[in-house]
Amino acid sequence: MPFPRAAPRSPDDGGAGAPIRVMIVDDHPIFRDGLAALLGLHPDLQLVAEAGDGARALELYREHRPDVTLMDLSMPVLGGAEAIARIVGEFPGARVIALTTYEGDADIHRALKAGARGYLLKDVVRNQVVDAIRAVHRGERVLPPEVAQRLAEFTPRVELTERELEVLAELAKGGSNRDIATAIGRTEATVKVHVQHILEKLGAADRTEAVTLALRRGIIHLD
């Protein structure tokens, strides 16, 4: 869809009466259309760009320098958390809100660590999205009660190594120790040690519970 063109501005630029310039990043066109329609109801908000993946989001951010970006986390080519990290790494003043269906504490930590200034679940009411955009534009951080509660539910945070995450992903596929050893190029004995560490860190009694907890918390995803 065509957008009204405006000169790129730094996220820190003010401009009395100037609308808040917003970019939407989501791989579902219907969801993007819904957000675009929502923004169109508010004169102080202006849609300047849309992207369907994280790589395109980075390109469009460089071109438009939106004041606030709404970023999904589950996307092709380049995931949302990585896209946030790259945008913030290149533009430290960038204001990004994660807007996603991912509700696990690991997902929230991942997005915040990448540089997101807000985290919203997609089932929020429309006014919450608009209020969040305005709040983040003012320099505030947005973490709704349900998101904060999710973080508090799993404290302290579990830290798995890259290898343990790799093994956990293979466990989710139903692989045996032998299957996993072949997949990651290690011995069965090494895999057995990794599995034991995973169970201990997650407080799981067995592999099935470990996978269930990991999926629930967003430590791994099946998609």
The pTM assigned to this predicted structure is 0.81
Token pair of 20, please?
């808040």
- Tens place of pLDDT per residue across the chain (223 aa): 333 333 344 444 444 479 999 999 999 999 999 999 999 999 999 999 999 999 999 999 999 999 999 999 999 999 999 999 999 999 999 999 999 999 999 999 999 999 999 999 998 878 899 999 999 999 999 999 999 998 888 866 778 999 999 999 999 999 999 999 999 999 999 999 999 999 999 999 999 999 999 998 999 988 6
Topology annotation, domain 20-153: Rossmann fold (3.40.50)
Euclidean distance between CA atoms 73 and 132, whole angstroms? 17
Interatomic CA distance for residues 129 and 60, integer angstroms: 21
pLDDT of residue 45: 97
Residue 81: which of 119, 117, 115 has the closest Cα? Answer: 115
One-letter amino acid of 23: M
Are residues 128 and 151 in contact, defined by beta-carbon separation less than 8 angstroms?
Answer: no
Q: What is the domain partition of the chain in residue ranges?
A: 20-153, 162-217
The DSSP annotation for 5-22 comes to: ------TT---TTPPEEE
Pick the CATH number of 162-217 from 1.20.200.10, 3.30.2000.20, 3.30.420.40, 1.10.10.10: 1.10.10.10
